[in-house]
Chains A and B, each alone.
Chain A
Amino acid sequence: MRNPLTVLKRRLSEHREVRTDGGTTSAGSILDRDSVRSAPFWLPPFLLIGLFIYGAIAWNIVLSLTDFQGLGSPDYSALDFENYVVAFFGGTPSWSELTVSPIWNSAWNTVVLMVSFSVVCLALGLVLAILVDQEIRFENTFRTIYLLPMSLSFVVTAKFWLYMYNVETGLVNLFLGAVGVGPVEIVQNPDLKLAAVAFALIWQFSGYAMIVYLAGLRAIPTSHFEAARVDGASTLRMYWRVIIPQLRTATVSALVVLTVFSLKAFDFLFSMYGGYQPGPSADILATRMVREAYSNGNWAYGSAIAVILFIMALAIVTPYIYSQYKRGEL
Chain B
Amino acid sequence: MSTETGRVGEWSLFGHSLRRVVLYGILAGMGVFYLIPIETGIMTSIINPASYTGSFPYLPPLEPLVPGTGTFSLEPWQGAIDGLGQGLVNSVILVVPATIFSGLLGSMAAFGLTTISWRGQIGIYILFVAGIFIPYQAVLVPLTQFWYNVVPLQAVFEPLAVLPFVQEYHWKLVALIITHTAYGLPICTLLFRAHYKKLSDEMVEAAQLDGASVATIYRRIILPLSIPMFAVVFIYQFTQIWNDLLFALTIVQFGDAAVVTQDLVGIGVSQSGTNFPLRMAAALLAALPTLLVYIFFGDKFAKGVAA
The chain A residues found within 8 Å of chain B, CB to CB, are: 23-25, 33-35, 37-46, 48-57, 59-60, 63, 73-74, 128, 131-132, 134, 136-138, 140-156, 159-161, 163-164, 166, 168-171, 174, 203, 207-208, 211-212, 215, 256, 260, 263-264, 266-267, 270-271, 274-275, 285-286, 289-290, 293-294, 299, 302-303, 305-307, 309-310, 312-313, 316-317, 321, 325, 330
Contact = CB atoms under 8 A, between A and B. Distances in A.
- The secondary-structure label for the interface of chain B is helix
Interface in B39-81: 40-41, 44, 54-55, 57-58
A111 to B, nearest CB: 14
Nearest to B292: A151
B160 interface: no
A48 B185 contact: yes
Contacts of B122: 325, 330
B111 interface: yes
B157 interface: no
Secondary structure call for the A interface: helix
Contacts of B34: 145-146, 148-149, 203, 207
B138 A159 contact: no
Interface string B253-293: 10000000100111001000000100110111011001101
Contacts of A330: 122, 125-126, 129
Contacts of A325: 122, 126
Contacts of B55: 169
Nearest to B149: A73
Interface in B130-159: 130-131, 133-146, 149
Contacts of A171: 36-37, 40, 57-58
Nearest to B243: A153
Most buried by A among B135, B186, B279: B135
Contacts of B302: 143, 147, 211
A309 B138 contact: yes
A303 B112 CA distance: 34
Given A63-B142, A153-B242, 8 more contacts: A38-B118, A60-B138, A147-B302, A155-B243, A171-B37, A264-B135, A266-B137, A270-B265
B149 to A, nearest CB: 6
A137 B1 CA distance: 10
B136 to A, nearest CB: 7
A38 B116 contact: yes
Contacts of A310: 134-135, 137-138
B135 A53 contact: no
Given A49-B186, A128-B30, A155-B265, A290 B137 contact: yes
Interface residues of B, number: 104
Residue in B106, B111, B136 with the greatest tally of chain A CB atoms within 10 Å: B136
Interface stretch (B164-172, B175-183, B226-234): B175-183
11 contacts: A35-B121, A41-B112, A42-B112, A57-B138, A137-B4, A142-B31, A153-B244, A171-B40, A203-B34, A267-B245, A302-B140
B133 A256 contact: yes
B118 A163 contact: no
Contacts of B105: 44-45, 48
Q: Which of A45, A143, A289, A313 has the most CB of B within 10 A?
A: A45
B243 A154 contact: yes
B245 A59 contact: no
B225 interface: no
A330 B126 CA distance: 8
A170 B140 contact: no
A142 B27 contact: yes
For A24, A168, A305, A306, the residue with the greatest tally of chain B CB atoms inside 10 Å of its CB is A306
A33 to B, nearest CB: 7
Contact of A274 (B136, B243, B265): B265
Interface in B172-212: 179, 181-183, 185-186, 189, 208, 211
A151 B186 contact: no
Contacts of B33: 203
A142 B34 CA distance: 10
Nearest to B306: A211
B224 interface: no
